[in-house]
Homo-oligomer: A and B are copies of this chain.
Amino acid sequence: MSDVADWWSTEIIDMEPGRIAFRGHEIQDLIGQVSFPQMIWLLTRGDLPSEAQARLLEAALVAAVDHGPQAPSIATARMAVTCGLGLNGAMASAVNMLDDVHGGAGEQAVELYGWIDGGVETGAAIDRWQAERGPYIPGFGHRFHKPVDPRAPRLMALVRDAAEAGTVSGRFAEIGEGVAAELAVRKGKPVPMNIDGATAVIYAELGFAGPLARGLFCLSRSVGVIAHAWEQMQQGGRNKGPTPPQYRWTYTGPNEAD
């Protein structure tokens, strides 16, 4: 029996009839005692964070819940329920889309900050990123929120408070601000940190690995996904398309095949 059981071995959960323990904590001792962010940390990291650490994580989770129905994930969630899916299915189709371009900037920024933290000079890190990954520096600038993404300064203020209180080192806040400063010099105008740059500072300060930064963003954005899908359910509609039915698409192909 052990080779079969070993195939699914895990450090996360232990179970027998009537008993569930996460990372060594019995579930009945966690319910009502730890916050949801603390539970998220426990499951993904293995230990329980302090309340101050959990509050900083919580701020990042609160900040990223939604960016409106123009986002392809949210539009998909809303269309999905009009196709007959429940909230689980709407979440699936929507969260799937939080990939490199739509949901990867936080993970990428954690990685970029890590290079700098590991000793690469800021300008050199930016050069290397652009050479290896392309022109977009993850976490800075915003195509819509100009001049400033309102979420970033608030998050960064919380990081600075946490650094002063000794909860985090403040090292990654400096790194992130250094990237913004370098980009501003290069572009000759401000390129402020956006939500992904700021949450990446938080995740890096708290010691989360890059892939978890993406996972936590997915968890946060799922709240908006559920809220929009549920609102659409109440609004009704069948097979809701991306634009009102009286609009169609421009056909650009041949009018008669040879």
Contacts and interface: CB of A to CB of B under 8 A. Distances in A.
A150 B21 CA distance: 10
Interface string A202-219: 000000010110111011
Contacts of A250: 2, 5-6, 8-10
A72 B82 contact: yes
B96 A24 contact: no
A66 to B, nearest CB: 5
Interface in A60-74: 61-63, 65-73
A133 interface: no
A49 interface: no
- List the number of copies, as a whole number: 4
A91 B86 contact: no
Interface string A72-104: 110110111011111111011111111111111
Contact of A85 (B5, B14, B99, B233): B99
Interface stretch (A25-33, A116-124, A163-171, A176-184): A25-33
B252 A226 contact: no
Nearest to A75: B242
B214 A218 contact: no
A216 B226 CA distance: 8
Contacts of A101: 82-84, 238-239
B12 A66 contact: yes
Given A28-B150, A32-B62, A43-B227, 8 more contacts: A11-B251, A12-B227, A20-B67, A32-B154, A72-B241, A84-B99, A84-B101, A87-B212
